[in-house]
A and B are shown apart, each in its own frame.
Chain A
Amino acid sequence: MKKKSGLLLYVVKKLLAFAATLFAASLLIFFLERLSNVDPIAVILGGKRANEATIASLREKFGLDLPLWRQYFNWLFGLIKGDFGADFRYQQPVWSLIAPRLGVTLPLITMASLITIAISVPIGVVCAIKQGSAIDGGLSAVCLAAVSCPGFFVSMIAIAVLSRVAPQIRFTGSFSGFSGMMERLLLPALCIALGMIALGARVIRSKMITELDSDYVLFARAGGISERKIVWKKALKSCVIPYSSVMSIQIGSLLVGAVTVEEVFSLQGLGSLLIDSIQGSNYPVTQAITMITVFFFLLLTTATDIIIAAADPRTIKGGGRE
């Protein structure tokens, strides 16, 4: 009974922190954008000449004639209603620019995440079981190299190698249909996954080694429970906590973090729209993508914290991850 109310309180606290952080992030991003010395009207006009009357009407249309705080609240309430406003450059609803990009980036990072989880756990466990062996040494060295290579470099190596070995594969260009998308996204997803696989395997390996050295494992061994069961059923459970903490942050960063790999494979993802909007001072788009990314990131990390707390109430006291 007491445990349950503790968890409920924790969930409420986490959700409040989620809302408060999102609000603070919206303040930060809105006013940071205003620090730049580029005049929005210049961006809207895009270099065209205009008379005073046109400029005044444009100011009114985009709400730029209002005091800054009114502009902020208009934007914030729009966000809550799911309306991101109109962009400066094309003067279209921001969402209509973002939606097609999400159609590329979301499947890509979902694929990368699934690949990561499927591969990193077994690698980490095998390294831990065979600690100190040649297999562990080899895999650990590969992991170290993989976490040290930026994703775009990995992508370029993949293209350089595959274009020689299997010249029939197309790396860039358009695609159609679900299977076409899968085919085109598989290689970039693998390139994104490589670094995360290596990081995840390192986390599992180090936690698993500590776990296999602990008293309860010794006890289970003495009780005659098979080694396979100890590793995969008991010890692995404890690895889930640090693993999911690290992974939720990694996956949460991908929405924009995948941009360098998308660039190499000429994929029109969310990240490249963000970069374009930053370079073109197209604030509404920059703000919208930033808020979506922060929302996604916070959602993943908060959900992970709550799931961890539900699975292991001891983490509630320490506040989970610092």
Chain B
Amino acid sequence: MIAKNGASKFFTPSVAISCFVLAAIVLISLAAPIIAPYDPLETDLSSTLEAPSAEHLFGTDQNGRDIFSRILFGGRTTILGALAIVLFSMAIGIPMGLFAGYFGGMADRLMMRITDVAVSFPTLLLAFVFAGIFGRGLRGAILAIGIVYVPMTARLTRSLTLSEKNRGYVEALRAAGCPTARILFLQILPNCVPTLSSQLTLDIGYAIIDLASMSFIGLGVRLPECDWGAMLEESRNLIFTRPLSALAPGIAIAVTVISINILSDGVQRYIDPTKRKLKRRALRHG
């Protein structure tokens, strides 16, 4: 479907750099248990608030924990958490959107009304409320944000399905007696993948920020476990004395999300040269 020479067009310098940076961040975070020089939870009260040195690359925090090791482990939590959020929204939202778009009628109207209500809540507000119900902790926060992302994924899939379902190939398959599930998941869905993938890449970036926000205000991971959001919260009182160590987790968030945004823009440009703006983008709240 996609021309072979497209490969060189996709990797513009900025996309190539962001891919490299992302790959590095993901690999380093996933390998945290191997790479990290210290146990991220091990406190050492004899060496608190140390300045960066060869021993402690980013110094130590108020409990004597190695900040570099905590950023590695925190990154693992943040990145895997964001991936889990997006996968959850896909697992529920994509089938929902496919069925609603394909069958139309009552099921479709019902889904649209339900999602209407869901998008009338600002994203973070609804996530806060769900987190309150599921209880504090990483799992609750991931589930809460994941649920909030479902309506948006479902609506995007639905609109893509609507534009596919009246195409000739779908009609031909139906006439040939192809099972509906097969048409939905093996024929229509692959044609939605390009647009979906651009949006879902973007969503991972949003999920990182939302998850960090939840942890920052205390509805996410529970101490002493850490992710980048909780680390920023903890290091707030270091901001005057050791700004770089305090800001390091935030820099990690920013670099990751910037790379993801560049990658998503690249995917969008590549699959859709007219750079059609995705409606969902406007639905997202800061």
Option from B122, B218, B262 in Cβ contact (under 8 Å) with A297: B122
Known: A253-B285, A260-B217. A160 touches B254 (CB 8 A): no
Q: Check B250 against A149 for contact (C-beta < 8 Å).
A: yes
B132 touches A36 (CB 8 A): yes
Asked whether B243 is an interface residue with its Cβ less than 8 Å from the other chain, the reply is yes
Could you say which of A81-89, A92-100, A121-129, A243-251 contacts chain B?
A: A243-251
Chain B residues proximal to chain A, CB less than 8 Å? 113, 116-117, 120-125, 128-133, 136, 155, 159, 205, 209, 212-213, 216-219, 229, 232, 236, 239-240, 243, 246-247, 250, 253-254, 257-258, 260-262, 275, 277, 279, 282-286
User: For residue B132, which residues in chain A have a CB less than 8 angstroms away from its CB?
Assistant: 33, 36, 278-279, 281, 286
* Residues of chain A lying within 8 A (CB to CB) of residue B213: 150, 152, 260
**CA gap between A255 and B219 in the complex, in Å:** 18
Asked if B282 and A242 make an inter-chain contact with CB atoms under 8 angstroms apart, the answer reads yes
Query: Do residues A294 and B236 form an inter-chain contact, with CB atoms below 8 A?
Result: no
Complex: how many Å from CA A32 to CA B127? Answer: 12
Interface residue stretch chosen among A21-29, A39-47, A67-75, A180-188: A21-29
Check if A294 sits within 8 Å of B121, measured CB to CB.
Answer: yes
Measured CA separation A297–B119 after assembly (Å): 10
Instruction: Flag whether A288 is at the interface (Cβ < 8 A).
Output: no
Contact call B247/A149, Cβ cutoff below 8 A = no
- A148 close to B257 (CB less than 8 A): yes
Contact B133 A206 (CB under 8 A): no
Judged by a CB distance under 8 angstroms, whether A257 is at the interface is yes
Q: List 9 A-B contacts (CB under 8 A).
A: A33-B129, A148-B205, A157-B250, A160-B247, A253-B122, A257-B122, A260-B216, A264-B236, A297-B122
Enumerate chain B residues within 8 angstroms of A294, measured Cβ to Cβ: 120-122, 125
Query: A150-B216, A153-B250, A256-B122 given. 9 additional CB < 8 A pairs?
Result: A21-B116, A150-B209, A150-B212, A156-B246, A159-B240, A253-B122, A253-B124, A255-B122, A281-B132
Q: Are A25 and B117 in contact (CB under 8 A)?
A: yes
Residue of B nearest to A277 (CB): B132
In terms of DSSP, what is the predominant structure of the interface of chain B?
helix
Are A206 and B258 interface neighbours, CB within 8 A? no
Q: How large is the interface on A (under 10, 10 to 19, 20 to 34, 35 or more residues)?
A: 35 or more
Residues of A within 8 A of B130 (CB): 32
Shortest beta-carbon distance from A143 to chain B in Å:
10
Question: Quick check: is A284 within 8 A (CB to CB) of the other chain?
Answer: no
- Candidates B123, B262, B275; contact of A253 at CB < 8 Å: B123
Cβ of A199 < 8 Å from any Cβ of B?
yes
Once A145-B258, A148-B205, A148-B261 are accepted as A-B contacts, the answer to whether A278 and B131 lie under 8 Å apart by CB is: yes
